[in-house]
């Protein structure tokens, strides 16, 4: 039995409710992030310690300690509230989808979160220690750092979020293949263009333009790209086989 169609007003009311829930989840998550902001800062300083960088952070204005804590809370809040926000977006568009499409969509939600967390963890454990070590090493002992807390938090948090988003590559490939925009074979043949695009994205994500850091970002992205093409091809082959079996039974 199909679901009753909603009027334009009902759609707008539903959208308003979804936005309010997402906003409240974000506000609560930012509040939690602010309460634990200093613990989160200690966590963000660990990659520098791993790279054996003596890290003393400073501030230059009376307002800056609050702004540093708020910046930490904002990034932490976005990460904490991400599952709720994604669920509200998917739940809003769900009535327009078939039952099987809904099942696939909600399954994709867990993979979105998984790949994002995987990217953040990879950046935290491998990219940041190498990148920070290279950046500080450019001083060659000739100049001494006065590292501002706000600049450090902004760089580290932004890089972690950005790398987390790049790890969504498999889902992006799966989506364009599932929608029939392009075939896995075409994607595989266009690997040269993919390499160029991935290198550009890696360069944009690494403000130091350190080739080592860029490769640490680019290589996993290309592996994810090729691996997702293989999985998409296998999925299409399996879907065609099941369709042939159903047609044979009919």
pLDDT tens, residue by residue, 21-57: 999 999 999 999 999 999 999 999 998 888 777 778 8
CB atoms under 10 Å from CB of 114, counted, come to 12
Domain containing 191 equals 168-250
pLDDT in tens, 186-197: 877 887 888 888
Same domain, 114 and 173: no
Residue 104 or residue 223, greater confidence:
223
Same domain, 85 and 207: no
Q: What is the mean pLDDT of residues 180-203?
A: 80
Which pLDDT band holds residue 250 (cuts at 50, 70, 90)? low
pLDDT in the model for residue 39: 95
**Listed residues 166, 196, 218: the one ending a domain:** 166
Domains of the chain: total: 2
pTM for this prediction: 0.76
Q: Of 169, 160, 219, whose CA–CA distance to 195 is shortest?
A: 219
Phi/psi-derived region of residue 157, left when phi > 0, alpha when psi is between -120 and 50, beta in every other case: alpha
Same domain, 104 and 59: yes
Same domain, 109 and 192: no
Same domain, 14 and 70: yes
Same domain, 155 and 174: no
Same domain, 111 and 67: yes
Q: What is the mean pLDDT of residues 1-18?
A: 74
**Listed residues 110, 133, 166: the one ending a domain:** 166
Q: What is the mean pLDDT of residues 221-238?
A: 75
Which pLDDT band holds residue 245 (cuts at 50, 70, 90)? low
Q: Which of 116-130, 182-196, 233-247 has the weakest average pLDDT?
A: 233-247
Which pLDDT band holds residue 1 (cuts at 50, 70, 90)? very low
Same domain, 112 and 101: yes
Which pLDDT band holds residue 204 (cuts at 50, 70, 90)? confident
Same domain, 206 and 121: no
Same domain, 116 and 193: no
Alpha helices (runs of H) in the chain, residue ranges in sequence order: 8-35, 37-50, 64-93, 99-122, 128-137, 149-166, 169-178, 184-189, 191-205, 211-249
Q: What is the mean pLDDT of residues 129-153?
A: 83
CA distance 25 to 209: 36
Percent of the chain scored above 70 by pLDDT?
87
134 Cβ contact partners less than 8 Å away, ≥ 6 residues apart: 208, 210, 212, 213
Same domain, 107 and 224: no
What phi, psi does 79 have (nearest 5°)?
-70, -45
Query: Would you call 208 helix, strand, or coil by DSSP?
Result: coil
CA distance 132 to 147: 12
Query: Diameter of the chain by CA atoms?
Result: 79
Same domain, 103 and 209: no
**Listed residues 117, 149, 166: the one ending a domain:** 166
């Amino acid at each position: 039995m199909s679901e009753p169609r909603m009027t334009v007003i009902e759609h707008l009311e539903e959208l308003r409710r979804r936005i309010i829930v997402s906003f409240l989840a974000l506000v609560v998550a930012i509040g939690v992030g602010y309460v634990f902001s200093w613990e989160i800062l200690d966590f963000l300083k660990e990659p520098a310690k791993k790279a054996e960088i003596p890290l003393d952070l400073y501030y230059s204005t009376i307002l800056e300690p609050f702004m540093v804590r708020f910046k930490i809370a904002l990034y932490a809040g976005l990460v904490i509230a991400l599952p709720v926000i994604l669920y509200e977006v998917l739940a809003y568009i769900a009535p327009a989808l078939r039952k099987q499409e809904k099942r696939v969509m909600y399954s994709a939600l867990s993979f979105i979160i998984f790949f994002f967390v995987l990217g953040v963890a990879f950046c935290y454990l491998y990219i940041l220690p190498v990148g920070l070590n290279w950046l500080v090493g450019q001083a060659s002992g000739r100049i001494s750092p006065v590292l501002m807390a706000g600049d450090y938090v902004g760089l580290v948090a932004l890089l972690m979020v950005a790398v987390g988003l790049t790890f969504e590559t498999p889902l992006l490939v799966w989506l364009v293949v599932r929608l029939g925009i392009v075939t896995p074979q075409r994607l595989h043949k266009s690997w040269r263009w993919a390499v160029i695009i991935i290198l550009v994205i890696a360069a944009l994500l690494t403000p130091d333009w350190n080739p080592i850091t860029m490769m640490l970002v680019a290589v996993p992205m290309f592996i994810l790209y090729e691996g997702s093409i293989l999985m998409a091809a296998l999925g299409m082959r399996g879907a065609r086989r099941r369709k042939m079996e159903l047609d044979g039974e009919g």
